[in-house]
Amino acid sequence: MKKVLISLVALMVVLSSCGTMGLGTSMGAMIGGTLGSIAGDATGGRYGSSIGGMLGSVAGMAVGAAIEEQQYRDRVEQASKRTTSVAQPAQSNAIDAIELTNFIYIDSDNDDTIEAGEDCQISFDVVNHSNKTLKNITPIVELISETKGLKIGKMTTISKLNPNTKVTYSVPISANSHLKDGEADFRAYVMDSNGLTSESREFTLSTKK
pLDDT in tens, 55-84: 445 455 555 556 656 664 555 454 333 333
Q: Is pLDDT at 194 greater than 60 in this prediction? A: yes
**pLDDT value at 177 more than 90:** yes
Give the span between the Cα atoms of 54 and 34, in whole angstroms: 9
Q: Which tens digit of pLDDT belongs to each residue from 111-126?
A: 889 999 999 999 999 9
Whether residue 87 is contained in a domain is answered as no
152 and 173 Cβ atoms separated by less than 8 Å: yes
Do 105 and 204 lie in one domain? The reply is yes
Lowest mean pLDDT among 53-67, 97-111, 171-185: 53-67
Domain hosting 183: range is: 94-208
Whether pLDDT at 22 is above 50: yes
- Tell me whether residue 85 is in a domain: no
Mean of pLDDT values over 83-101: 61
- The answer to whether residues 6 and 68 belong to one domain is yes
% of the chain beyond a pLDDT of 70: 55
Q: How far is CA 175 from CA 183, 201, 205, in A?
A: 13, 22, 12
Mean pLDDT calculated for residue range 121-133:
94
Q: Do residues 154 and 106 both lie within one domain?
A: yes
Q: Is residue 88 part of a domain?
A: no
Query: 15 and 111, same structural domain?
Result: no
Any domain includes 151? yes
Q: Are residues 187 and 153 part of one domain?
A: yes
Q: Are residues 114 and 149 in the same domain?
A: yes
Question: Phi and psi dihedrals of 37, rounded to 5?
Answer: -65, -45
Query: Which DSSP category does 197 fall into?
Result: B
- pLDDT-derived band at 96, boundaries 50, 70, 90: confident
Question: Is 43 among the domain residues?
Answer: yes
Give how many domains the chain has, as a whole number.
Answer: 2
- What does pTM read for this prediction? 0.55
The reply to whether 100 and 188 lie within a common domain is: yes
> CA-CA distance, 85 to 144, in Å (whole number)?
46
Q: List beta partners, residue 137.
A: 158
